[in-house]
Amino acid sequence: SEYRRKNYIQRKHVDTERKVNVNFVDGPFVEVVENGDYNYYIEFVNKKNDNVEYSLNLKSNHWAKAGKKYFVNWLIKVKGIDNEFYQEYEFNPKNKKFFIVYETKSLGDTLAFFPYVEKFRVDNECQVVVASFHNHLFKDQYPNIEFVEPGVIVNDLYGLYRLGMFYKTENGVRQIDLDKHPHDPKPLPLMKLASDILGLNYVEIKPELKQYGKEKQKRVCIGIHSTAQSKYWNNPNGWQEVTDYLISKGYEVRLLSKEEDGYMGNKNPKGIVQQPQSSLEEIIKVLQESELFIGISSGLSWLSWASGTPTIVVSGFTDIDLEPLNGVERVINKDVCNSCWSNYDFDPGDWYWCPIHKNTDRQFECSKNITSDSVISKINQLIF
């Protein structure tokens, strides 16, 4: 074989107390521990396509690791170069212990990803420990998962995967780190980011949250604020006209966003009831007791969907399938520039990021051109 031609040494039987350690913690790992000094050829093979993703020569009492951090169905081959040892180690998750670590604090990401933590446990018949920044939302609903706080060390692991959107910088250019994602996740549904990292067949799944709400009230909740101006509904009259319409129909309109009125130049509509500072559990209760939630591409929209409340998302920043398709009505204007999140590298440090039309009269046209009538039409379909 090629490795023998390059590395030929007379192979011999070696009587050694050899131990080969293999795990899949942050990528596939192999270590040869023994009371000797020998040479081995290591191959990390992707069983899906039989591709050798990484290979190298390894000395006794050293270790090696392949770069890919996401789920791969690995086969690790350890071949003696100057000895007769040969062994294959197949990835086998059944009854093994895995640690799934959230690298994002985002509420929307947390809700989007969590169903796939449970799906990973069920599909692979394995034990799962998870660390997220919102464990309290899930603990009671997922009794077969062990929860730990971020930063806690978990021992005796067979595998570890990290959930988030990961970038790297090469030659001064920021780009998706494809050692941590099997595909560029930006054009995909947010939930598929997690299913891809964990090696699962994608199907849209809603996370299980507690039922805090009791009777429905004649109330519509709204969430108007976010973390960048491109995510806002930038029609200057949109929120006010929708609020006025709902009030005219006898509805209380409750603003769940915690930002102050005028935050980054964005005024709250008049006539709303401001939700006081509340826990997420209290917000879930309010949502579950409301007839409808109207929001933008932000965590509150994901929380409304997960809470089981009919949800309208007003967004031109994201494409129609980035947020859930079941239980969510999208309002988007496809006749103008739209869906920049999927096609450009978002700059979280630029509040006024608009990759094509910044500083022109077309800036944020994706949402400026979403009319209040189009949102009211969705409202009428859902509650009238």
Q: Classify residue 191 as exposed, middle or buried by CB count within 10 Å of its CB (0-12, 13-18, 19+).
A: buried
Using DSSP's 3-state secondary structure scheme, residue 21 falls into strand
101 closest CA partner among 144, 160, 185: 160
Catalytic residue positions, numbered: 109
The DSSP letter of residue 226 is: -
Query: CA–CA separation, 52 vs 30, rounded Å?
Result: 15
The residue type found at 347 is: D
Q: Which string of DSSP letters, residue by residue, matches 318-338?
A: S-TTTS-SSSEEEE--TTSS-
User: Strands 19-25 and 29-33, how do they pair?
Assistant: antiparallel
- List the one residue out of 348, 308, 339 whose CA is nearest residue 324: 308
